[in-house]
Amino acid sequence: MITPTPLMQLVSGFWSFKTLAVAVEFDLFTRLAGGRTVTVREMGPEFGLAERPADLLLSACASLGLLDKAGDGYRNSALAEEFLVKGRPYYFGGQVRYCDERTYLPWHRVRDALRTDRPITWDPDTQESLFDGSDPGMLALFWDAMYSTSIFTARALSEAYDFSGHRKLLDVGGGAGAFPIELCRRLPELRATIFDLPHVCLLADKKIAEAGLSGNIGTSAGNFLTDPELPTGHDVILLSMILHDWDEPTNRTLLAKCHEALPSGGAIVVAELLLNDERTGPPAAALMGMNMLVETDGGKNYSGAEYSAWLTDVGFTDVRVLSFDAPGANGAVVARKR
């Protein structure tokens, strides 16, 4: 018998997100790191909560798979211990905080974005793009979120695509450097360059230094949208979670620049949340497309077939689509230059 239960799950989806977000805000999972347990009565004084809200928060987090319960005590689940403890290599809290503080309330006005075809998290009349430097606090939060999402995605990409045959990587729009950092950790012989806006390169330089990889990874300041050429001297170009921010003509122009910058035999890797060819899913990609409506001026998510066609049109060959499972991308479209 068909029931409205799936609809109720959609209606109440924000309950799950806000429970996760407030737990991250309270540093709950970081405080429980290393196997520590806490009871409802212990949580109250430590977190400044009365017994009832402490009980409800712990129970809700357990129901979501974020906490495990043994007797009266709650402790981090394996998922929370791996991804929600500050300082862990694949800490995901930055993405949680960004969505909670930056996009959650604007999403309440998604109808306005649909009717106007304009972003609602920034003003295109006064800002060049979401990525300009007019709001340093927001940008810091944004890049922290992107790093949180990208670092594990880079790990998944490295397992799906073999970068060991390359010597030098150009990460176009590489942000704070999560992909090169993860790839160079796994492949010490690989050298990489991050090409991004000047203020973003400063963030990347800091992350690279913290990772101890300043000898492996460098930055090059520029604008991949307006600069006529990309840096040369690299045998693989990575576009990681970049093309969904822009419309088709912009993406075709950027892919042509990538083709021009690569030597014969060089490769391009486009990592994205890919829609299926029918554009009916998966939900993560389709809903990210809705988020692009909220956050970008022209962006949307595309299918592997669309990317493949664009790559072929600008001169790439041997195009193939790889699949993997990660928060920032579910696949990569790879190709070669003749």
Q: Are 104 and 91 in contact (CB under 8 A)?
A: no
Cα separations (Å) of 123 from 16, 108, 334? Answer: 29, 17, 34
| Six token digits for residue 22 | 């407030």
| C-alpha distance from residue 20 to each of 41, 143, 278, 283 (Å) | 21, 20, 33, 20
CB of 196 closer than 8 Å to CB of 173? yes
* 259 is an active site residue: no
Tokens of 167: 């010597």
Q: Which residue's entry shows tokens 């981090």?
A: 76
Task: Quickly tell me which residue has 């793009």 as its tokens.
Answer: 129
Name the nearest CA neighbour of 81 among 100, 67, 60: 67
* Active-site annotation holder among 166, 234, 244, 259: 244
The count of other CB atoms within 10 Å of the CB of residue 266 is: 22
Positions marked catalytic: 244
